[in-house]
Structure 1
Amino acid sequence: MAIKSEVGWTRKNEDGTKLEISARRFGREWLFFHQLKRAEDWEPIKAPPLEDWLELLDTVRRRINRRLLPPDEETRVKKMIYDRFPGTNLDEES
């Protein structure tokens, strides 16, 4: 059975506009989406920046502590970050 989960946060764009970010888990994959305004449709983010991946990792860790996600999800997200951003040091984030 696949676990489905969705988390969201707000971040600012380079030009200072606010973006609503949503990360949705389907099976073992995390898909990222963004929305500028509430009335607009969610648009997929093809290559999420490291900032979004780190926010996701933080959220996953908190959800594991509350037993909303399995403990191995942190390892999977870390692997996805290492694959996309080689040389990233996540040990200091712990």
Structure 2
Amino acid sequence: MEENFDITVQELKALIEKGEPFNLIDVRNPDEFEEDNLNGTLIPLGDLPDSLDELEPLKGQDIYVHCRSGARSDRAKQYLLANGFDKVHNVLGGIMAYRNM
């Protein structure tokens, strides 16, 4: 399996239910995060360039990125890959799909 595969919301739910720590980044806006979140780290997509130093320790680890529908998180994934992160996974469908399971 390739390292930068996308995951389904069902796979994300399984990760959450395991109860083991994993790196989940939410690239939505603060108001969206406050309304409904999965306890990921909030880094709005527009703030991602200024957050690379903060994320540096995660290089080499799996990072799962989600947003409302999967579009912003896909852009975040591509940005992180272009900046040296090598195990980045987009959550397909985002929180909308997660809540509609």
The answer to whether the superposition gives a TM-score over 0.5 is no
Larger of the two Rg values belongs to structure: 1
TM-score relative to the length of structure 1:
0.31
Structure with greater proportional strand content: 1
Q: Which has the higher helix share?
A: 2
